[in-house]
């Protein structure tokens, strides 16, 4: 898993969201790369698709129209998206949405196209629909797309308090001194309910007033976590617990590989690495999220500082330990040499 996360962090620059398509190329690509997602993530090791075959495909599809076959529409729209002609694909798919209301591919491709255009609310609706049709869509990874979209449709204030795999949000906020546990933030849920029986609105007003009139950063952070605990959860949590999902690592790596400039994806990768105690990798991912403009930037900086400090201390401790061991080994060797000399002298006498 460490290798997969490392590859993901190094390889995102050459991949775009068009790999989330569902057309005649998709199934063969994903079967070829599953369960080893390294091939899907290492998109920049392969040459970019030659546009000429895609142009020929569009020409051939138009020459033999099958307008009553949703697969024909999906292949045509998919070719346009792969060429970067997203608006053309949207126009095609929107024109047949009512004609094929129960076709998984139509909704998946339209949701992908909307996502590429930054139309997150419309994308979320289409991806939610394709998951109704096929709950195991994209080999069980499509629900991570839905979770990301349900994060992106929220305002920046909400995003500053949460990860898109929301089950781990409170744990990230509560983590300190480079220690992370998936259930670390759970006590804050009951604490927040007790402190603010009026719910989120009461907590937010109290938090804003506290920050305005106090300089106690520790208490402000504690209140911030309680505020996050009272946020309305994303709808996907009614069906899934992604933090405990068997495909958690595959899902977040998949989403990050398809969204190489999305800070939420790097924050999530950082947490996954941190959860595995891959601290250098975690810090690198969180720093990338900050660089990309994460709304969690200030909090992530503090987490990175904690991790880096922990790494420095660990290295210093190891250096000191090896120094002590070296001295000890020297002493043992010296004593041993003296013993050998004494034994030789006695044996000669």
d(CA 322, CA 345): 34
Task: Provide the pLDDT for residue 90.
Answer: 97
Q: CA angle at residue 218 from 193 to 300, to 5 degrees? A: 95
In a domain, 311, yes or no: no
Structural domain range at position 28: 2-154
Judged against a pLDDT cut of 90, whether residue 327 lies above it is answered with no
* pLDDT digits 0-9 by tens, 91-137: 999 999 999 999 999 999 999 999 999 999 999 999 999 999 999 88
Write down the number of H helices and E strands in the chain.
19, 0
Task: Provide the pLDDT for residue 256.
Answer: 87
Backbone angles phi, psi at 179, to 5 degrees: -105, 130
343 versus 225: the higher-pLDDT residue is 225
- Out of 192, 218, 233, pick the residue that ends a domain: 233
| Token pair of 151 as six digits | 């994060």
End-to-end CA distance of the chain, in Å?
65
In a domain, 143, yes or no: yes
Do 70 and 184 fall within a single domain?
Answer: no
123 versus 343: the higher-pLDDT residue is 123
Do 227 and 103 fall within a single domain?
Answer: no
Alpha helices in 276-296 (DSSP H): 279-291
Name the range with the highest mean pLDDT among 23-32, 44-53, 209-218, 328-337. Answer: 209-218
Q: Which residue has the tokens 């003296």?
A: 338
When pLDDT is averaged across residues 56-71 and rounded to a whole number, the result is: 95
In a domain, 204, yes or no: yes
189 versus 8: the higher-pLDDT residue is 189
Task: Provide the pLDDT for residue 46.
Answer: 40
Judged against a pLDDT cut of 90, whether residue 300 lies above it is answered with yes
Do 8 and 128 fall within a single domain?
Answer: yes
Judged against a pLDDT cut of 80, whether residue 343 lies above it is answered with no
Q: Where residue 314 falls among pLDDT bands split at 50, 70, 90? A: confident
Beta bridge partners, 179, equal 176
When pLDDT is averaged across residues 222-249 and rounded to a whole number, the result is: 96
Q: Where residue 19 falls among pLDDT bands split at 50, 70, 90? A: very low
Q: Where residue 34 falls among pLDDT bands split at 50, 70, 90? A: very low
d(CA 268, CA 266): 5
Task: Provide the pLDDT for residue 35.
Answer: 36
330 versus 112: the higher-pLDDT residue is 112
When divided into structural domains, the chain yields a total of 2
Q: What percent of the chain has pLDDT over 90?
A: 59
| Token pair of 139 as six digits | 């080999």
* pLDDT digits 0-9 by tens, 190-222: 999 999 999 999 999 999 999 999 989 999 999
Q: Where residue 14 falls among pLDDT bands split at 50, 70, 90? A: very low
Do 9 and 27 fall within a single domain?
Answer: yes
Do 164 and 143 fall within a single domain?
Answer: no
d(CA 64, CA 190): 62
Average pLDDT taken over every residue of the chain: 83
CB neighbour list of residue 174: distance below 8 Å, 6 or more residues apart: 184, 185, 188, 225
CB neighbour list of residue 311: distance below 8 Å, 6 or more residues apart: 178, 279, 280, 283
Do 39 and 95 fall within a single domain?
Answer: yes
Q: Where residue 18 falls among pLDDT bands split at 50, 70, 90? A: very low
| Token pair of 298 as six digits | 């200030």
Do 139 and 162 fall within a single domain?
Answer: no
């Amino acid at each position: 898993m460490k290798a997969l996360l490392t590859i993901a962090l190094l390889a995102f620059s050459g991949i775009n969201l068009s790999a989330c398509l569902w057309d005649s190329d998709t199934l063969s690509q994903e079967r070829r790369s599953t369960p080893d997602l390294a091939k899907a993530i290492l998109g920049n090791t392969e040459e970019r698709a030659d546009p000429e075959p895609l142009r020929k495909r569009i020409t051939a599809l138009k020459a033999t129209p099958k307008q009553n076959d949703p697969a024909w529409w999906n292949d045509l729209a998919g070719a346009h998206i792969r060429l970067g002609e997203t608006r053309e694909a949207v126009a095609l798919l929107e024109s047949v949405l009512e004609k094929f209301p129960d076709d998984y591919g139509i909704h998946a491709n339209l949701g992908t196209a909307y996502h590429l255009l930054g139309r997150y609310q419309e994308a979320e609706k289409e991806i939610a629909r394709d998951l109704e049709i096929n709950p195991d869509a994209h080999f069980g990874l499509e629900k991570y797309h839905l979770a990301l979209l349900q994060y992106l449709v929220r305002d920046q204030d909400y995003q500053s308090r949460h990860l898109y795999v929301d089950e781990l949000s409170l744990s990230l906020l509560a983590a300190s001194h480079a220690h992370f546990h998936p259930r670390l933030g759970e006590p804050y849920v009951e604490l927040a309910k007790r402190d603010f029986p009026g719910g989120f609105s009461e907590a937010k007003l109290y938090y804003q007033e506290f920050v305005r009139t106090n300089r106690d950063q520790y208490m402000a952070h504690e209140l911030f976590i309680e505020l996050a605990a009272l946020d309305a959860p994303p709808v996907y949590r009614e069906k899934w617990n992604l933090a405990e999902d068997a495909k958690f690592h595959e899902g977040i790596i998949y989403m990050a590989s398809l969204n190489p400039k999305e800070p939420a994806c790097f924050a999530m990768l950082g947490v996954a690495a941190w959860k595995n105690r891959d601290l250098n990798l975690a810090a690198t991912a969180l720093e990338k999220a900050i660089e990309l403009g994460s709304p969690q930037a200030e909090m992530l900086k503090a987490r990175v500082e904690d991790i880096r400090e922990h790494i420095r201390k660990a290295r210093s401790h190891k250096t000191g330990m090896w120094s002590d061991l070296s001295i000890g080994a020297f002493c043992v060797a010296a004593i041993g040499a003296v013993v050998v000399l004494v034994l030789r002298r006695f044996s000669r006498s």
